[in-house]
Structure 1
C-alpha cells in the first residue's frame, strides 16, 4: 500500500519541504483569545472596583460636589478651586508634615524592633514558639480595640502608665501623653509601633529561615564577627524581604485613620491630623466632597509613587538574582 498524502513531506530528497512549518490553522489567534478570556474577569473586577472609583475621585476633585448633588445630580465643575483651597490651607500643610513624621517614625520603630525580635527568635530555645504566639496578639486584635485600650493606658490622671511611672518615682506629675500638642503625635507613633511589630517580625523571621546555613558557616570560617556576619550576609540576602516589609508597611501606615480617630480624633489643636483624618473630616464632617477628594488624590499619588519604587526595587533584586 502507498500513501500519497504524506509523500511530499516525508520525501528525504526534498529537505525544504520537510522543514517547512505547517500551514496556518488559526491556533495562535485562538490561543491568544483564550488568554484574554482567562484574565477578563480579573480585568473587569479591577476596572469596576478600582479603576472607576479612582477616576470618579479625580473628577470629583474638580467639581462643586455637595450632599444635594446626590438628589439633584448636579455637580458643576469649578476648575482648580478645590485644589487651591486645599493646598493653601494650613491644616493640609500641617497634616502632610504629620503624615510624614508619623509614617517615618512608625516604620523605623516597627522595622528595627521587628528585625531584632526576628533575629532573636531565629535561635531556637525552649518555649520560643509560645513567646512568638503571644507577641502576635497586637496584630490580631482589631486596631480600634487596641486604640481604646491604649487610650486608657495613656490617660494622664488614671492611666496605668503614669501610675507606674509615679510609683517608681520617675515623675511627679504624669505626662499628658494624648492631651498635649507636644506629645500627642509621639504617643500615637508609639501605639502604632506596638501594633505593627508582629507583622514585621513574622515576615522577617520567615526571610531569615530561608537564608542558607552554609553562608553563616563560611563567614564563621573566615573569622567574621557576629556584627560583620549580620551586615555582610544577613542584610544583603534579606534585602528583597526588607523591601516588601517596608513598602507594605508604608502603604498601611500612610493611610491610617481608625487608630488616630480612636486615640485623639486629630487633636489636640490639630496636632495629630494626617492626610487620612483630613480626608475624613472634609468629606464626612464638613460634607465638602470636592475638597475631600483632593486630599484623597494626594494620598493616592503618594502611595502610587512608593508602589512604583517597590516594583523597581523588586525588578532590580530579580535581576541580581539572575
Structure 2
C-alpha cells in the first residue's frame, strides 16, 4: 500500500478556491522602478539648462513684459515703484506717427533680405556642390563675412558707401554715373542697410543649404541624367523638393535673425535720415535709450511686438512640420 502523501499544488489553489489566479498587487510593487540615483542624475543634468533658460530667457522676457505694462521713469526704474498702466504703452506706439513707417521698413527689410540671402546662398551651394578643384578654398573665403564682428562689417560698409570718399561712388564715377548719397539720402538709406545685411547673411545660408545638398543621393541625379533631364530639370524636380526641410529651417532662422537686426542699421544710418531706415529694432532702442528722457515702457512694447512676430512664425513652422510628418 502506497502511503505517499500528495502535497497541495499552490499554483492551482487559487483556481480551486475561486477561479482566476490572483492579480499582481495594485501598488505596483511588481514593476521594476528606476533607481533613485538615476533620477537624481537626470535632474542633475537638467538643472544647468533649466537655470540657464530661466535666467537668460524667462526672466528677461518677464522683465520686458513688466516694463511694457508700467509707466517707468528713470527714478521708478531704479526704485521699482512704477505704476501699472495696462496696455497704455501699446496704445501710445500704435498712435505714434513713427509706427507705420517703422512697420513698413521692418517688413521690407526682412522680406528683401530673406529672399536675396536664400536665393544667393542656394545658388552658391549648388555651384560649390560640383566639387571642383578650388571649391573648398572658395567656400572658406565666402565664410569671412559671417565670421567678422558685426561692428567691423557695418563700419566697412559705411566707409564703402560714403558719399564723398566711398569706393562704391568712386566706381560709379569711373563708369560715368552720378554719385549716390547712400547713407544720407532718405531714398537710399534703407537700400544701403539691406545690401550690407544681405552680404552678411549669405554665408549662413550657403553653409546650411550646402549641408542639405550633401544628404541628397547622387544616384537620383544619375538616374535623371540617364532619362534626359537637363540641369534645370534636375534642380527643380530633385534638388529643390528634397531640400525643402532644410530650406524651411534656414528661412525661419534667417527670419528671426533679420527681425532683430539692430547693430548694422544703427552703425550705418542710426535709423535715419528722417527715420527713413528705422525698423522696430532701432525704434525700440531709440525709445528706451536714445533720448534724455527715456520711454522704457513704449520701448519695451515695441520689443514685445518683435517677440510676438518671431513666436508666430515659429509656431507656423512647427505646425507645418507636424502636418508634413503626419502626411
Could you tell me the TM-score, scaled by structure 1's length?
A: 0.88
Distance in 2 separating the partners of 1:137 and 1:273: 27
Q: Secondary structure at the match of 1:211?
A: coil
Q: Residue in 1 aligned with 2:209?
A: 204
CA–CA distance in 2 between the matches of 1:209 and 1:257?
A: 33
- The answer to whether the 8 A contact 1:61-1:83 is kept is yes
Please report how far the alpha carbon of residue 76 of structure 1 lies from its aligned counterpart in structure 2 after TM superposition.
0.5
Q: Between Structure 1 and Structure 2, whose CA radius of gyration is higher?
A: 2
The answer on 1:71 being equivalent to 2:75 is: no
Deviation at 1:84, TM superposition (A): 1.3
Tell me, yes or no, if the aligned pair for 1:240 and 1:317 is still in contact at 8 Å: no
Within the candidate set 189, 193, 206, 1:188 is matched to: 193
Aligned to 1:246: 251
Residue-pair matches, total: 311
Aligned equivalents of 1:88 and 1:305: distance in 2?
A: 23
Residue 142 (structure 1) aligns with: 149
CA distance in 1, matches of 2:121, 2:28: 59
SS of alignment partner, residue 90 of structure 1: coil
Name the structure 1 match of 2:132: 125
Per the alignment, residue 108 of structure 1 pairs with: 115
Q: Is the 8 A contact 1:243 1:313 kept in 2?
A: no
Does the CA contact (< 8 Å) of 1:279 and 1:293 recur in 2? yes
* 1:14-163 alignment runs, 5 A limit: 24-25=28-29, 27-28=32-33, 37=43, 38-163=45-170
Of residues 32-41 and 46-55 in structure 1, the stretch that sits farther from structure 2 once superposed is 32-41
CA distance in 2, matches of 1:76, 1:24: 54
* Alignment correspondent of 1:300: 307
1:231 aligns with 2:236: yes
* Alpha-carbon distance in 2 for matches of 1:145, 1:219: 45
**CA–CA distance in structure 2, aligned partners of residues 142 and 264 of structure 1:** 18
CA change 1:71–1:132 in 2 (3 A) is closer
Residue by residue over 1:152-202, the C-alpha shift from the partner in whole angstroms, topping out at 9 and shown as x without a partner, is 100111111111111122x0x201111111111011111111111111011
Stretch deviating more after TM superposition (237-246 or 64-73) = 64-73
Q: Structure 2 CA distance, aligned partners of 1:126 and 1:71?
A: 61
Mapped partners of 1:27, 1:272: distance in 2: 64
Q: CA deviation at 1:27?
A: 4.8
Structure 1, gaps ≥5 residues long: none
**CA displacement at 1:34 relative to structure 2:** 5.4
Whether 1:283 aligns to 2:288 is yes
2:206 is paired with a residue whose SS is: helix
SS across alignment from 1:65? coil
TM-score, normalization: structure 2? 0.87
CA RMSD in angstroms comes to 2.8
Gaps of 5+ in 2: 1-6
Distance 1:103 1:205 in 2: 23
Residue 65 to residue 28, structure 1, CA distance change in 2 (3 Å): farther
